Amino acid sequence: MAKRWKYIRAALSKAGYTSVASAANIDITSIDADGYVYYTNEYGDTVKAKWDVTSPIEAGTDYIVFTQSTYYLGGLSAYTATIRVNNELSTEVTNACTFTNLNTAVATRSGAVITAVHSGTTVLSATTNVTSTATTNIVVGQFNSVLTPGSSTLQVTANTTAYALTGVSLTNQLGTSVSRTTAKLYYSVDGGAGAIINANTTKTWTATGSSTLVVYDYNAKDAYPTYTGATIRVTVV
């Protein structure tokens, strides 16, 4: 038992707890066969330290994983996503990781935030201060490769109703709501030329009957020419 306490004191000292006062809020939980001392620090984090390791690391960081195997970004500059890396105890260790392999022509990273630059695919690798490495895919330009309208039908009045296309309800392949503020959305009526949906875009139908409104993600169309977007049948009365 005395030898175990010797290891514990040495590990805590290596972690910066060099006095009784400094370790007052430390709760020791266990020590493993490799000599790692597991404890809860003053911030409530589960951490492990060892007498011959320069700095403490998050407990359980023998392997790490990104919480998403793929991060989808819109194809426009400034579209962002926040990455997260966990260890096998589901403790976040993002700030303890070194990141490599990101193709900055596709996306850039600042801290835990990745930002789209140009359509394409790249890999992001994370490594902790042990030997554990994890990778994830960053896909730019395919965020809305599937669009599903909230309603497949729409009824408008000819000539008198200017329908605001910003009000079209859409979700993507992840079940996430999509709007012109989160995607570069275009629309087409009855197979006509596409036009971007801006903040004040409205459409007025002039003749009664049936019409087809298609809303699509510009970047997905650029990547997949056969992509059709969300089709809404419009009844004009």
At 234, the amino acid letter reads: V
Q: Output b/e per residue, 132-169; b: 16+ Cβ within 10 A.
A: bebebebbbbbbbbbbebeeeebebeeeeeebebeebe
Would you tell me how many other CB atoms lie within 10 Å of the CB of residue 94?
Answer: 17
At 142, the amino acid letter reads: Q
Distance from C-alpha of 65 to C-alpha of 133, rounded to nearest angstrom: 8
Is the same domain home to 68 and 127? yes
Distance from C-alpha of 174 to C-alpha of 152, rounded to nearest angstrom: 19
Distance from C-alpha of 40 to C-alpha of 47, rounded to nearest angstrom: 6
Q: pLDDT tens track of the chain, all 237 residues?
A: 456 777 788 878 877 788 888 888 888 888 877 777 888 877 677 777 777 765 555 555 567 889 888 887 765 544 788 899 888 777 788 887 889 999 988 888 999 998 887 777 899 999 876 556 888 887 775 457 788 899 898 888 888 878 888 888 988 887 888 887 777 789 999 888 888 888 888 888 888 999 999 999 877 776 677 888 899 998 999
Find the domain containing 155 and state its range.
148-236
Is the same domain home to 152 and 230? yes
Q: What is the CATH number of the domain that holds 123?
A: 2.60.40.1080
Is the same domain home to 117 and 154? no
* pTM exceeding the 0.85 threshold for the entire prediction: no
Distance from C-alpha of 57 to C-alpha of 63, rounded to nearest angstrom: 12
Read off the tokens for 58.
Answer: 């998050």
Is the same domain home to 186 and 209? yes
Is the same domain home to 195 and 228? yes
